[in-house]
Amino acid sequence: MNKNVLILCTGNSCRSIIAEALINAQIENVRAYSSGVNPSSRVNPNAKKVLEAHHLWDKSYHSKTLNTLENIEFDLVITVCDHAKESCPTFSKTTPTIHIGFDDPDGKEYEAFESTYKEIEQRLLPRVKAILSEEKQTKKLT
């Protein structure tokens, strides 16, 4: 059974798109989506470049609003910036929400995007795996 994860950021142009791609590539039975509370309507060229360098770019990745994902039930919501954390919407069911903040690489050199990629891979992916694994174990016990 696939789990749906939402990564929420302010502009949905860098961090959330990188996280979406990493989760989709590296965690089995999980489908990640990203959105912005105030989407920029573009993917940062360096975010795209870092995903291309790691062979994770997919043309379906784009900046979008949360209402484009309203028909999806999420098993986990992750905010990756303080603004998204503060303005995170309430979801209809009891959806776990966590915050793992990352510095915004927007406006910085490519190396900052590579650092953000590595940090998301090292900090966010293990947390997602652990939370969804705990959820699975809890359901087996009930």
Question: What residues are annotated to the active site?
Answer: 9, 81, 88
Strand-by-strand arrangement of the 3-9 sheet? 30-36, 3-9, 76-79, 97-99
Structure tokens at 8: 């929420």
Residue where the block lists tokens 């503060």: 86
- What distance in Å separates the CA atoms of residue 53 and residue 139, rounded to the nearest whole number? 38
Task: Say if residue 99 is exposed, middle or buried (CB neighbours under 10 Å; 0-12, 13-18, 19+).
Answer: middle
Angle at 98 (CA atoms; ends 93, 104), nearest 5 degrees? 130
How many CB atoms within 10 Å of residue 119? 16
